[in-house]
Chain A
Amino acid sequence: MKSLTVFSRSLSLKNKDYNHSSEGAVFPASPFSIMVGKEIADHLRSWRFIVLLSLIGLTFFGALYVSLSNIKSAVSNTQDPDRLFLYLKLLTTTDGTLPPFHVLLSFLGPLLGISLGFDTINSEQNAGTLTRLMAQPLYRDNLILSKFVSAMVMVGCLFVSLALLMIGAGLLITGVKIEPEEVLRIFAFVFISFVYVGFWLSLSILLSIRFKQTATSALTGIGIWLFLTVFYKLVVNLVTKALFPDPAFLAPQQALAYQELISNFLRLDPSQLYTDATTTLLMPSVRSLGPLTMEQMAMAIPSPLPFKESLMIVWPQVSGLLAATVLCFALSYYLFMRREIRS
């Protein structure tokens, strides 16, 4: 403000020089892609993402190390119909010191999603940047969409690079050629993990819109995660034990229906869906996620299923996860679109 004369000069210059830009000779990038770019840059520069990256990386390499040191016995186990899928074995073999990677991911995925999303909207609101941003010519939904997309791009890159690293390390160390089916299965696993993290991300974005304090939304997100991983099974068991008769006194048909009911309740928990889906995909010999009768099992040869069949088994799980993600996201839209923007 000290140089008012300079200012008036520069402004008049500006009007002369830049008028051509509004005529649209060059189309500038859309606000949405600019926002996604900025969000990704923010993530990359933040300590939070570095911490998460090292956490996931550590788990991955730990799990890989454990499986590599046990791969020999796992592959030479003739009792196991899946023994020939070396790369799937790399992801699932363990000697008990560390759970396999997909199990670890069912714990860490929520943490990844929650910590990437818990402060998306409320931190902007608290810092006063939300009003400033909303006063620009951009659609309101672009903001939450860009936040979601940028975090998902990060997660997607992370998972794909981890999968490729795993395949590369496997190739280098064992020298065994990878089957196309294994590639399909591994990338299906990556996709399901991606959707799973997406669910938690959209849930935490929803919480960040609902609550004004970042601490509240983070705590609520972690609370939901802990409840689902630790207490939910307990509660389902308690309730079914109290309400239903002892399965020992039931006819087999009834016992089966009863078992089905319990597992359906358990499937309300997204981590259950995720575990079911990944287990089926990474262990081709898994034929069903529910109980099988003796008649169904009779004459069956314990052999791996083709990829398409495994995919058919987990299709309900995948659609369930997708539906939960979409639901959370739709709710976020609903809350955010008509909300009053004030700092």
Chain B
Amino acid sequence: MEKPIIELRGLTKCYGSLKAVDNLDLTIQKGEIFGLLGPNGAGKTTTIMMMLGLTEPTAGTATVCGYNATTNPIAVKRKVGYLPDSVGFYDSMTALENLTYIGRLNGIPEAEVKDRAFEVMTAIGLRDAADKKTSAFSRGMKQRLGLADVLIKQPEVIILDEPTLGIDPSGVKEFLKLIRQLSRQHGITVLLSSHHLHQVQQVCDRVGIFVGGKMLVEGSVDKLSRSLFKNETNVVSISLAEAVPTPWEFEDDLHRLERVQRVAVTDNVVEISCLSDITPSLVRFFVHKGLDVTGVHKKEYGLDDIYEKYFENNLAESNTNEKPNRVFQKSFFKK
């Protein structure tokens, strides 16, 4: 097995008494698209900052591309392209100037920096706006230019912090498609942080759910849902035309069916959990009993449910974990 391209060992960051990142272990292989999922304030950005050497960890090490990010950030930054969540550009310069500036800082020779900038801009669909001042750019255009900015240095790893924030749905789709294509064609490793579950689900090979500074679980979306909901893998909800009376006459009959675990009735919907997929026999059962079935829905567990499940468990914890008031008072004077 190859050496992992990103390796975090026991990474911890404390702000006063608050633990933003708590003993995080994470390994990402080359060419992978990894989704870092978590609610706001979970410590995603802090983790990314530590991977780039922009913040010193309180404990633990972050190794990126074989370099220690804390002691050798320059080598790491040479190989890693980072797109911050609120990317900014020099407003007085045009898009092209902004891009060539970053290109030059990355040591691209003067003779080819312009050609390369044009290439990346064409690819990203901003060729026509190259000579426009970035102050006139929309949020989506800025985000694209940010990606161009990352690509011009030809990175081995791309780190995207909330990349889809503020882009319209069709733009998001294209953006994610492009990222996936890039990763597949050139073997670029992508680390994507987001709180948009569906987007992450679309592109990521592996996801990690990150709450309150801890990585709760990681793995592919399939694997996650299987491990989480192994007790109730198959849930079928059947809608009926009329409301079901509360002491339901057929409930016992239903329980007698093979592999049925649990039956829950709410109004006109019957929810049945079973050990294996027995939807056809369930429908047959209902029809046989002369009930009018209006809809059958087989529930599949997506990231949403996974996410929710974890949040339920963590809500109680995070409330006790609230930031002390002192932090807020202090921030007044820092302005």
Contact = CB atoms under 8 A, between A and B. Distances in A.
Contacts, number: 134
Given A31-B105, A127-B90, A137-B78, 9 more contacts: A7-B122, A7-B178, A8-B185, A21-B109, A132-B82, A135-B84, A137-B107, A138-B77, A340-B49
Contacts of A7: 122-124, 178, 181
B93 to A, nearest CB: 8
B22 interface: no
Contacts of A6: 122-123
B102 A342 contact: no
B87 interface: yes
B74 A1 contact: no
Contact of A343 (B88, B106, B154, B174): B88
Interface of B: 45, 49, 52, 54-56, 74-75, 77-78, 80-82, 84-92, 101-102, 104-112, 116, 119, 122-125, 144, 146, 149, 153-154, 171, 174-175, 177-178, 181-182, 185-186, 334-335
B88 A135 contact: no
A18 B152 CA distance: 12
A301 B310 CA distance: 92
A139 B72 CA distance: 11
A213 interface: yes
A247 interface: no
Using C-beta atoms within 8 Å of the partner chain, give the interface range for chain A: 35 or more
Contact of B123 (A10, A18, A134): A10
Given A7-B178, A14-B119, A341-B54, A129 B88 contact: yes
Nearest to A340: B55
B295 to A, nearest CB: 38
A109 to B, nearest CB: 26
Interface string A190-208: 0000000000000000000
A1 B78 CA distance: 25
Contacts of B109: 21, 26, 28
A26 B108 CA distance: 10
Contacts of B154: 14-15, 18
B101 A34 contact: yes
A177 interface: no
Given A341-B54, A342-B49, A343-B88, A132 B149 contact: yes
A212 interface: yes
Contacts of B77: 135-138
21 contacts: A3-B122, A4-B178, A6-B122, A7-B181, A8-B181, A11-B123, A11-B186, A12-B185, A26-B109, A29-B110, A31-B107, A34-B101, A127-B91, A129-B88, A136-B77, A136-B153, A137-B75, A211-B335, A340-B54, A341-B54, A343-B85
B125 A18 contact: no
A10 B119 contact: yes
B271 to A, nearest CB: 42
A42 interface: yes
A16 interface: no
Given A127-B88, A132-B87, A213-B335, A138 B105 contact: yes
A4 B177 contact: yes
Contacts of B335: 211-213, 216
Contact of B92 (A46, A133, A138, A213): A46
Interface in A122-168: 127-129, 131-139
A135 B56 contact: no
A12 B186 CA distance: 9
A342 B45 contact: yes
B86 A1 contact: no
